[in-house]
Amino acid sequence: MENARLIARRIPELDGLRGIAIGLVLIWHYFVIPTQAAPAKWLSYARVFGCLTWSGVDLFFVLSGFLIGGILLDARNATNYFQVFYRRRFFRIVPIYAAILLVFPYLEIAAQRMHHGDFSWLTTDPLPWYVYWTFTQNFWMAHHVSFGANTLAITWSLAIEEQFYLTLPLIVRFFSRRSLLTCVLSGICLAPLARMAIRLVWPHNWVAGFVFMPCRADALLLGVLAAILIRDDALRARIQHSNLFFAISMPILLLGIAFLGWKSPDMGGSLMQFVGYSWLALFYVSVLLYALTRRTSLVSKFLRIKRLGWLGGIAYGTYLLHQVIQGTLFGYFWSHEPHITGANTLLTALVALAMTLVIARLSWRFFENPLIRFGHHPDYQFTELELVPSTSFLETSKTL
């Protein structure tokens, strides 16, 4: 029968974290990368504060590991474990992704035939169509040290998550809890070692360490580790009462992030790839655990801000659409790739941002959400009523 205790309340802090993640990505692509500023000018100094906003994707990875890991842990004994999990993943991820893939060829044709503007930034150097449909574009990107056409360049992270979804359900289902914990901890430790090994073998190929799933498994598995910890009553209580630990660890993590931003802000830098990715993920998972175990804290209250949660709710559509809209507006009005050089180009970026949010919201309401609701039937079924932690996060996957 259906385990009623798997039907959990919504956790607004997670939507807030997701809103921060997509906000960081938007700042990076819309304002940090395009900004053209002379050295020693105020704009160049302002740009420094956004030098690590690309790590919003790492926050997405931590959240995915936490949410998906939690769902699988709660449903590991379900009789329809694999069927329900992959049905829900399919209806959450594939429809809007497939729609964009189907539109992309027509975008290329329109760009070629349009006599106004220049859209080559969006369409130049596309990868073979089949790598996108099979979620293997990250392998191609690593091999060619190129992200391909900017319309679909950001889909490398989807490939990582889909490959993660193929492996984690098997591990959770068939490994004992002790073996699962060992596997998770091993993966966290091996990820930076894998990045180091790739960097030593291919010193000029930073893309491989950035887009291969095993190389980014530390962020994903730190999220899974948090899901394991939060479901153990004793460990959760220990986290709740570890005020001294957070008082010491959080400033250390923030100082480390400041050092990375000063010495190695580039996502392809050696220091960033060796330890930076893991350090950033440790900070994000610490914030997650702190917020969920201290619901009256300022951090938790901030993450429950409704506008932040609203942004988190439309994060997936925003992520897939934002560079298409940005490139289209800059290509049409300025005939070049996105560059912010003054008030007019800044206004173009702001209009692109507003359009992205509006279209993503419409996509969520009329396209994504109805399909997600359809995908959530049937529910997980159990042969007998099992006790699971009351903090189950199963239902939060509906917006993941």
Long-range CB pairs of 355-363 (<8 Å, 24+ gap) are 355/325, 355/329, 356/26, 356/318, 356/321, 356/322, 356/325, 356/326, 357/311, 357/314, 357/318, 359/317, 359/321, 359/325, 360/314, 360/317, 360/318, 360/321, 361/314, 361/317, 363/96, 363/314, 363/317, 363/321
Q: What pLDDT digit, counting tens, does each position of 323-370 carry?
A: 999 999 999 999 999 999 889 999 999 999 999 999 999 999 999 999
The whole-angstrom separation of Cα 321 and Cα 229 is 35
Per-residue pLDDT band at 133 (split at 50, 70, 90): very high
Alpha helical stretches, state H, the chain: 12-27, 42-48, 56-75, 81-113, 120-123, 129-133, 137-144, 156-174, 177-201, 206-211, 217-230, 233-240, 243-263, 270-271, 277-293, 298-303, 306-313, 315-334, 343-363, 369-375
Q: Which residues pair with 340 in a beta bridge?
A: 35
Query: pTM of the prediction?
Result: 0.93
Lowest-confidence range among 42-46, 194-198, 220-224, 287-291?
42-46
Q: What percent of the chain has pLDDT over 90?
A: 82
Q: What pLDDT digit, counting tens, does each position of 299-317 carry?
A: 999 999 999 999 999 999 9
Encoding tokens for residue 358? 């509006």
pLDDT value at residue 42: 64
Length of the chain: 400
Per-residue pLDDT band at 52 (split at 50, 70, 90): very high
- List of residues 6+ apart from 371 with CB closer than 8 A: 91, 95
C-beta separation of 8 from 230 below 8 A: no
Per-residue pLDDT band at 388 (split at 50, 70, 90): very low
Q: What pLDDT digit, counting tens, does each position of 108-130 carry?
A: 787 777 778 889 899 888 899 99
pLDDT value at residue 123: 87
The whole-angstrom separation of Cα 157 and Cα 135 is 10
- Cα–Cα–Cα angle for 228, 232, 233, rounded to 5 degrees: 155
The whole-angstrom separation of Cα 19 and Cα 15 is 6
* Average pLDDT score over the chain: 90
Q: What pLDDT digit, counting tens, does each position of 78-92 carry?
A: 999 999 999 999 999
The whole-angstrom separation of Cα 76 and Cα 86 is 13
Which residue bears the tokens 């951090």?
Answer: 299
Domain ranges of the chain: 4-399
Q: Is 229 buried (19+), middle (13-18) or exposed (0-12) by CB count in 10 A? A: middle
C-beta separation of 330 from 339 below 8 A: yes
The whole-angstrom separation of Cα 275 and Cα 193 is 9
Q: What pLDDT digit, counting tens, does each position of 7-24 carry?
A: 345 789 999 999 999 999
Residue type, 314: I
**210 has a pLDDT exceeding 80:** yes
Query: Dihedral through CA 213, CA 218, CA 220, CA 226, nearest 10?
Result: 160
Of the candidates 30, 313, 21, 311, the residue with the CA atom closest to the CA atom of residue 150: 30
